[in-house]
Structure 1
Amino acid sequence: MKSTVLFLLGIFLLDQCGVQGTLVIRNQRCSCIGTSQGTIPYRSLRDLKQFAPSPHCNKTEIIATLKSGTQTCLNPDSANVKKLMREWEKQISQKKKQKRGRKQQKNKKNRKAKKPKGPRAKTP
């Protein structure tokens, strides 16, 4: 009984303090109003994200984050942007392969380093 009262009191206090959950979805509208017409050098990219059409935005959006921290919307129909996306995806897949390779090497080293425990029993 006491634990129920304390629980309800805690919920009431959290509600009064203004603690609220937030939705983890994009805005209810498109993020990109317009797109950049210039080209972005591959080396100046920090991140490149592509968002598929959704019920709230009926177009594909590509948002580039530069090393300077600024974000720019890119035209998904541009040949230069398509090339940039291919290069970015290629780099990401290479990084994933390198990480997998390092993990496999660590696992092999760990298996080699482990020695059997205790004496082995001989079977006749």
Structure 2
Amino acid sequence: AGGRRGVPGRGSAVSCRPAGAPLAGELRCRCPRAVSEVISPRRLARVELVAEGPHCAVPEVIATTKQGQTICLNPSAPWVKLILTRILKRYPPGC
């Protein structure tokens, strides 16, 4: 069923969660603010896409660096859109 799924690729992983399916206890946005500054994709270990839903009115893009730092990325930033487009092209739909 829906849940989280990691997808490996070039040392990074992608995870997505359908709208309305927050993990237990997560009933608010996880990103109070998001950055638009460019971060090298080589620094990223994981990118998580969280669709909008009852827990949060906006989609969230949460990146984890190889050093373990969690960063909320602005999904409207052009470089974030480019990364997401490339990731989604690489993997078939069905998260």
TM-score tier by shorter-chain length is 0.5 to 0.7
- 1:46 counterpart residue number: 45
* Change in 2 beyond 3 A, CA 1:77/1:26: farther
User: Taking CA–CA contacts closer than 8 Å with sequence separation of 6 or more, which of the two structures ends up with the larger relative contact order?
Assistant: 2
User: Percent of aligned pairs with the same residue?
Assistant: 32
RMSD of aligned C-alpha atoms?
2.1
Is 1:79 aligned to residue 78 of structure 2? yes
What TM-score comes out, normalization by structure 1 length? 0.51
What amino acid maps onto 2:70 in structure 1? Q
What TM-score comes out, normalization by structure 2 length? 0.65
Identify unmatched segments of 5+ residues in structure 2.
1-21
Identify unmatched segments of 5+ residues in structure 1.
1-22, 95-124
Cα distance in 2 for residues equivalent to 1:77 and 1:61:
10
The structure whose Rg is larger is 1
8 Å CA contact 1:63, 1:73 repeated in 2: yes
Q: Which has the higher helix share?
A: 1
* Alignment of structure 1 residues 1-124 onto 2, 5 Å: 24-25=23-24, 27-91=26-90, 93=91
- Structure 1 residue 38, shift from structure 2 partner: 1.1
8 Å CA contact 1:48, 1:88 repeated in 2: no
8 Å CA contact 2:46, 2:65 repeated in 1: yes
- Structure 1 residue 54, shift from structure 2 partner: 1.1
Q: Which has the higher strand share?
A: 2
